[in-house]
Structure 1
């Protein structure tokens, strides 16, 4: 019998009482504290697991690891909008209620929280803190610290935290060590995402401005490392906390094995590489397959003092390339964006830059089951897209593939197609210059970081093609601080973009492509996409109850993003490449997500003799 019978009939009062009682009984029967929670199905590891499957649980402790960054830093607070902090601090000095396994699509295990409890519809989640959890200064992590962190980061923190906070209806302390969050929307992922927010110490920020901490205040965390010292703009030294509270937890055993991590800053990538060759840095990640094969034959490699390690990954391709800001003309016209994609001679660029060793990203979720399939949309994907047919970009329903060149430098066919698109958009050639009806030239700026040699080399080739089309494109290079500020303020025409995705994409997709974040300073929606269809596909992802529906929703979103022609895609980074000193090693067990901040240096260690 339907519930609305009771609500509209003579037994209204009795019906409400019965439904309330049934709801309470159902919640009590299905909601039990657990050691972990998975997006779909059950966690792979049982409550009594000893360590993560990809670590060495008996790894030795000790040693000093020297990491290298380019540019500089003017803040030690990685959680606020303004400032350029060493990016590693977010992962090394602070931790969250739950820990995400790198060997499952999306499963979180207890970290600061000893258990997690949620209702059958996951419209609420409750965490119970471990009694032994404490900050690096010895003070306990309390429910009030958790509540303050969620509210402060959601209102004054980086835009990446806004989506979660705006989805929380209530957050309250429900016991001495319990915090419950109730959500506003039907979004099954929120129960997991809520467990991954960094937790800060509330008392530290009383009578202080959290948003302007800069170098004057170092946020106190509960993670294995603390900031020991720093020289502004030059280096930051992190020490392993000898009193770290969680060293014996299953999710921590065999991780964070290095005593000292020193982050050194260099002017650009070339200087950093020379420092590595000279033995001043312990490891370096290489993203260029050609350079990996060509430039790692220096004496330390020949002697065996430096080892080259490749780490495969099963994650989706994500999107890497050059993003166009649709908030500005002429990139608000999809025909112009399509023309610029045609003008990008990937095959020739790839051969020149990487020796043809790295395949191209073909869509946002390519290289995985989540990626859009060739040809017209079918089945559930088609059903999801059809209600938005009138607004969808060309190719979303019919099928789309990136233009391919013939490998030559001239790229005649694709340049001709680009010229036709520009003509259709009202940009004609007069005296060798591409102009609109008002005689204004087609001109734009490409923003790059100083020292970004690979992207600079790519753009140098691209500029020649644009010049042949009569387009006046120029490059502006700025330091890291200026780059960060300009990107946060969307002060660019075109710039580089890299977004990595998991095998369980979710709420972060709103931050990347959601209409609500399009004009939010600091958001990661760099292209400024405002698409009800994309918003609907993200909703469908988050509300799905099966892997089949979830996969269909992601594939539909992939079609919208790819055919929107917002990004000129470049290389697929499907293999992690780490060159490192010979004593720095790992378990040899590769998690499904391959290399990343939760793999290297977190699970690595110095083997010694």
Structure 2
């Protein structure tokens, strides 16, 4: 692959006309003259200060490099890309830093034209040179999540005073959209500096509505809304970025954070446990009406949450062992204990959406996609796979009997109270968890009881955020907690999550270590589909292979968002987007309104 930068100012035949937006399939839902996103309140007032809480800490204010831990909100509050996403469509982008986008009919290239008014937070203009530098630097020196895209760029070239084009090496319809979502940074800031040196001294300059106004390492970060924010009148921004100040306070764990919220130190919290929502959100501020409980539904896939097994490590390389550990996880009992049984179990990576695999044998287009790999597929991929059903009791004897049979078939037998292999080595493994993850620690305590009955010794290791990041990046774990959010338009990120190329690479997001030609082929089919029907079939086929691979012990789905917030925080409840409370929804379209 050759990545070069050239200058040319000639028109190219065969291009689609420049447009205000681009959709993965079909046309953008909003017309060129739209005035605001349909789920935003264009008349929302500006003002107010809100305080949110994070668990753990931070040792960096550069969210774009591999080294260090930065507050995750920074990427969304302070930085922008050429295009902005609508949360009310599966995957559609509208012009942000760019005023228009143009593609080849086959999307082998994409061209953007910058808005002349686009500015960094220091008031300097955003130039084509800044954009090209950002793509190249993030693609070669930035976090791994940016490098996969850059490897598929054949050329990046300036085509006019305010325009640039990216040409791609592979047939992949999504690349044109991903190109519009890379953060844009200021080149001049980094001249003579090491971009990869994470720390607290060099904060990247962005174009977003918020800039850091104050911070104390590991304790808090404050952001203020830039009164000179260049994009405040854009249709994509109207009614958004409404708070004058946003502050993030850091706490040791979720319990301390919740107590801080009850005491009035925080403005809002997201609650992920339905039982806790019912039983513990009855404190005086709720009774007085000073704190409001809001429930926001969504139509997005469940994604996958649970305990992931590192298949690179013995004995997790054997699917029978992985299935036995899934059998031993007494979901009904654990779910009843943890959530009061109020939250449904995740049944597949894309459950709760049209992209989810269907029960029973694979049929039609899904079967046609999988059949060439029939001799390589894990059992159940073609025939049908579903999670085991417990017997509803605390001891869950039926599931444990199935687990014993699977382990015996894999060469494990109980000797002197310990499960051992043919060489006499005991079945012992460690579960790596964050210190702040008190919920998963409770789950681990319940799970451990069943494992002991099988003769398996599980050691729970709790570490701080920095150690956790280092350990998982080095793939230094047997089992760990796992969460992958998935959208209604999954694409190139699927290669990062479970593509073979990253299976053995440190820093990979493929924590389970899946290296499957079938998985790679299904991702390729998704990315090259030209109709939504073919795309859906490829995604359902991928879902089957991943579920039958038995890499994750799924827990419960977060089917709705539960947000407790001070009464002055408002949101447009009458116009919720299909993605519901996504990562940017709060605080993006919320506002402050005094009584």
Fold shared by both chains (TM-score > 0.5):
yes
Match of 2:6 in 1: none
Query: What does residue 503 of structure 2 align with?
Result: 518
1:538 aligns with 2:523: yes
Find out whether 1:390 has 2:375 as its counterpart: yes
Displacement of 1:163: 1.4
Counterpart mapping for 1:22-171 below 5 A? 28=13, 30-171=15-156
For residue 409 of structure 2, what is the aligned residue in structure 1?
Answer: 424
What is the DSSP-based 3-state SS (H/G/I as helix, E as strand, rest coil) of the residue aligned with 1:533? Answer: helix
Query: SS at the partner of 2:35?
Result: coil
Q: Secondary structure at the match of 1:601?
A: helix
Mapped to 2, the partners of 1:157 and 1:447 lie a distance apart of 26
Partner of 1:278: 263
Q: Distance in 1 between matches of 2:358 and 2:167?
A: 37
Query: 1:256 corresponds to which residue?
Result: 241
CA shift for structure 1 position 28: 3.5
Q: Contact 2:15/2:102 (CA < 8 Å) preserved in 1? A: no
Classify the secondary structure of the residue corresponding to 1:329: coil
> Match of 1:459?
444
What whole-Å deviation, never above 9, does each CA across 1:98-124 have from its counterpart, x for those lacking one? 001000000000000000000100000
Measured in 1, the distance between the counterparts of 2:319 and 2:99 equals 50
Q: Could you say which residue in structure 1 is the equivalent of 2:584?
A: 598
1:190 corresponds to 2:170 = no
Where 1:28 maps in the other structure, the secondary structure is coil
* Map of 2:207 onto structure 1: 222
Deviation at 1:48, TM superposition (A): 0.2
Q: Does 1:470 align with 2:464?
A: no
User: Equivalent residue for 2:593?
Assistant: 607
Runs of 4+ in 1 over 4 A off after TM superposition: none
1: distance between equivalents of 2:78 and 2:504?
31
Deviates more, 1:198-207 or 1:107-116: 198-207
Structure 1 position 354, deviation (Å): 0.4
Q: Which residue of 2 aligns with 1:316?
A: 301
Counterpart in the other structure of 2:283? 298
Instruction: Describe the SS at the equivalent of 2:178.
Output: helix
Shift of 1:438: 1.3
| Structure 2: segments with no counterpart, 5+ residues | 1-9
* 1:572 alignment partner, one of 547, 557, 577: 557
Alignment-derived partner of residue 197 in structure 2: 212
Q: TM-score, normalised by structure 1?
A: 0.95
1:414 aligns with 2:399: yes
User: 1: distance between equivalents of 2:152 and 2:568?
Assistant: 46
2:491 to 482, 490, 506: 506
> What secondary structure sits across from 1:391 in the alignment?
coil
Q: Is the 8 A contact 1:534 1:560 kept in 2?
A: yes
- 1:540, 1:553 within 8 Å by CA — same for their partners in 2? yes
| Alpha-carbon distance in structure 1 between the residues aligned to 2:312 and 2:63 | 27
- For these two proteins, the number of residue pairs brought into alignment is 585
Give per-residue Cα distances to partners, 1:478-512, cap 9 Å, x unaligned.
01111111111111110011111111100110000
Shift of 1:309: 0.3
Partners of 1:423 and 1:216 lie apart in 2 by: 56
Give yes or no for contact 2:25–2:531 (8 Å, CA) kept in 1: yes
SS in 1 for 2:177: helix
* Paired position in structure 1 for 2:539: 554
Q: Residue in 2 aligned with 1:13? A: none
Q: Deviations over 1:504-527 (max 9, x none)?
A: 100110000101111222221110
- Is the contact between residue 230 and residue 236 of structure 1 (CA under 8 Å) also seen in structure 2? yes
**2: CA distance between counterparts of 1:193 and 1:30?**
19
Measure, in 1, the Cα distance between the counterparts of 2:358 and 2:547. Answer: 12
State the shift of 1:187 in Å. 0.2
Q: Once the 2 structures are TM-superposed, how far is the Cα of residue 451 of structure 1 from its aligned partner?
A: 2.3
Residue of structure 2 aligned with 1:362, choices 315, 339, 347: 347
- Determine if contact 1:82/1:485 at 8 Å carries over to the other structure: no
The answer as to whether partners of 1:102 and 1:598 remain within 8 angstroms in 2 is no
Q: CA deviation at 1:597?
A: 2.2
| TM-superposed deviation, 1:157 | 1.1
For the pair 1:528 / 2:485, whether they are aligned, the reply is: no
CA distance in 1 between counterparts of 2:14 and 2:182 reads 28
Whether 2:570 is the aligned partner of 1:585: answer yes
Distance in 2 (CA, whole Å) between partners of 1:45 and 1:442 is: 57
What is the alpha-carbon distance in structure 2 between the residues aligned to residue 118 and residue 520 of structure 1?
A: 33
Superposed CA offset, 1:218-274 (max 9, x none): 010000000111001100010101110000000000000001001000111000000
User: 1:81 Cα deviation (Å)?
Assistant: 0.7
Distance (whole Å) between structure 1 residues aligned to residue 193 and residue 333 of structure 2: 54
CA-CA distance at 1:162 after TM superposition? 1.5
Relative to its length, the structure with more helix (as a share) is: 1
Secondary structure, in 3 states, of the residue corresponding to 2:482?
Answer: strand
Shift of 1:427: 1.1
**Aligned twin of 1:337:** 322
Q: Does 1:494 align with 2:505?
A: no
CA contact (8 A) 1:311 1:594 kept: yes
- CA contact 2:14–2:105 (8 Å) conserved in 1: no
Using the alignment, how far apart are the partners of 2:524 and 2:85 within structure 1? 22
**Structure 1 stretches of 5 or more lacking a match?**
1-23
TM-score by length of 2: 0.97
Across the aligned residues of Structure 1 and Structure 2, the Cα RMSD in angstroms comes to 1.0
Measure the CA separation in 1 of the matches of 2:544 and 2:298: 23
Deviation of 1:30 after TM superposition, in Å, equals 4.7
